[in-house]
Chain A
Amino acid sequence: MALIYELIAQGVQMFLVLGIAPLMVGVTRKVKARLLRRRGPGLLQPYRDLWKLLHKEAVLAYNASWLYRVAPYLVFAVTWVTAALVPTYATGLLFSWSADLIAIVALLATARFALALAGMDVGTAFGGIGASREMLIASLAEPAMLLVAFTVALLIGTTQLSAIASHMIDTPVGLRVSLGLALFAFVFVGIAENARIPIDNPATHLELTMVHEAMVLEYSGRHLAMIEAAAALKLVLYFSLLTCLFFPFGMATGDKTFGALALGLVSYLVKITVLAALLPVGETTVAKMRVFRYPIFLGGAFAAAALAVFLLFVSRGF
């Protein structure tokens, strides 16, 4: 019986992230449009877009291989599994013990690998350039992300996300400059990974500097719907990771009573809505970067994360 409750709790989390992912994309687009003094589409427009794409014909290039058709589903599935592993409203859910922060980084890398292969499959110039840039960004962002994971692991003693969140809630870690640096690095990595300004512009299909959109330019119909849904899920996944690692307050850690779960759910929704509103505010204050400046941007993230690890070594000793 207990197992059934556990499964229900895990299922709620899985379908919660899937359900709110397009809404969060809608919130970011709406806030961004308002900041640019436009009205912007309604909050539910991403759902309508996905619905429309799912009912359109999928056009395939003549030379597309099986990989091209499988990749969107693979990317979506892997991203969804990853999103199910990050604690959102409660810790210690059924699946959360099967993978830690490093496994989550690896899962995201798997999704990116599949998408980059698919981008190169048809052999168009845009797909190739998008894939190569995506790999450039990944090779710079992943070390920084792993160093963030090491920072948290050094501070708390585990890379298990549930344990990190409950530890952060139960025993305050104090005033840590390392955590601030890790947060800074994480935000930079998240911006790069989610193809947001200043690394990439999610709203364009027409620029020579685009990265993510260049990779998926050939996709249409239900394949494109899968990729769009996966991108929205990834955004929510990064929001969830941010709240889980750095602002886990409100999360249901102990017994899963109804009140604790409801509090966790409400606080989670509030937190990620705030993040979804903050993201476009940051995006409108900076300009898109040149491709050659990506290493400097992500190198800053890497340096901050490495510094966080070093500072922790000093305060702990060896």
Chain B
Amino acid sequence: MSSLGFDLAHLLAGGMVVLSFVLLYQDRISAVLNVFATQAITLSLAVAWQAYVQAAPSLFVTASVALLVKGLIVPAALHRIVRQLGIHREIEQVIGGGPTMLAGLGLVALAILLVLPAVGGVDPLAREDLAFALAVILLGLLMMITRRNAVTQVVGFMSIENGLVLAATGAKGMPLVVEFSVAFSILIALIVFGVFVFRIRERFDTVDVSALDRFRGEHAEPQ
């Protein structure tokens, strides 16, 4: 493998991990959505580069699906939802900025320590993609835990899926059927989330999910 090929793949996959950190760090909702779109576009570039390096044309389809669905449609839809909810200028209180970053660093270290010994024999590109993909998945989970706004939790969920696609492309691609069904399920999930977010807002006048913790059922006695 040429040095440039490896370096560019490293740059794009590493860039995805960095963007996951930016997602954790960023507290403005519309900026979070833009960072998510950037991550999806980076993902599609990474997949396209893998397609070129591995000479696997089917990966180009994966790249264009990632670009179209997660780089354009999902962010545009989320922007629309956020604007309809009237929270597009809102600044979300990220729970414990410092500890969250430290936990994120710990998760990245964990992903690297887990993956590198497990896949010692395979070529460095696949090994690297797997490590970064696991890091992106764990950071997405962390984002879902630390956020209180339903919309940014959805973004965390979508970034987990970005990590999954990255993992799949590193391991010599995945069948197109799987790819399409995953992309389709993401779109379905988006619609479900969209409906759900509006339902939460209708019921509680907020999309802060901590309101759900206090909710004890429709007819419970007020505490």
Contacts and interface: CB of A to CB of B under 8 A. Distances in A.
B97 A311 contact: no
B127 to A, nearest CB: 8
A238 B110 CA distance: 34
**SS of B interface (majority):** helix
**SS of A interface (majority):** helix
Contacts, number: 66
A310 B107 CA distance: 11
Contacts of A311: 10, 14, 17
Interface string B95-129: 00110010011001100100010000000100110
Given A299-B98, A306-B105, A177 B18 contact: yes
B98 A178 contact: no
B126 to A, nearest CB: 12
B131 interface: yes
A318 B14 contact: no
B198 interface: no
Interface string A282-318: 0000000000000110011011101100110111011
Interface residues of B, number: 27
B132 interface: yes
A314 B128 contact: yes
B131 A314 contact: yes
B176 interface: no
A310 B109 contact: yes
A77 to B, nearest CB: 36
A303 B104 contact: yes
A314 B132 contact: yes
A174 interface: yes
Interface of A: 174-178, 181, 295-296, 299-300, 302-304, 306-307, 310-311, 313-315, 317-318
12 contacts: A176-B10, A176-B11, A177-B18, A178-B14, A296-B97, A299-B97, A303-B21, A307-B21, A313-B112, A314-B14, A315-B6, A315-B128
Interface in B1-27: 3-4, 6-8, 10-11, 14-15, 17-18, 21, 25
Contacts of A318: 116
A257 to B, nearest CB: 32
Contacts of B132: 314
Given A310-B105, A311-B14, 20 more contacts: A174-B7, A177-B10, A178-B14, A181-B18, A295-B97, A295-B98, A299-B97, A303-B25, A303-B101, A303-B105, A304-B18, A307-B105, A307-B108, A310-B112, A313-B116, A314-B10, A314-B116, A314-B128, A314-B131, A314-B132
Tell which of A174, A176, A311 has the most Cβ of chain B within 10 Å: A311
A166 to B, nearest CB: 21
B53 to A, nearest CB: 14
Contacts of A304: 18, 21
B101 A299 contact: yes
Contact of B10 (A303, A307, A315): A315
B4 to A, nearest CB: 7
B85 to A, nearest CB: 26
A300 B25 contact: yes
A307 B25 contact: no
Contacts of B3: 174
Tell which of A177, A295, A302 has the most Cβ of chain B within 10 Å: A177
Contacts of A310: 105, 108-109, 112
A173 to B, nearest CB: 9
Nearest to A175: B7
Contacts of A306: 105
B109 A177 contact: no
A178 B3 CA distance: 16
B101 A177 contact: no
Contacts of A178: 14
Contacts of A299: 97-98, 101
A300 B128 CA distance: 24
A182 to B, nearest CB: 12
A296 B7 contact: no
A158 to B, nearest CB: 21
A174 B4 contact: yes
B152 to A, nearest CB: 17
A175 B116 CA distance: 22
Contacts of B21: 303-304, 307
A177 B116 contact: no
Contacts of A317: 116, 124, 127
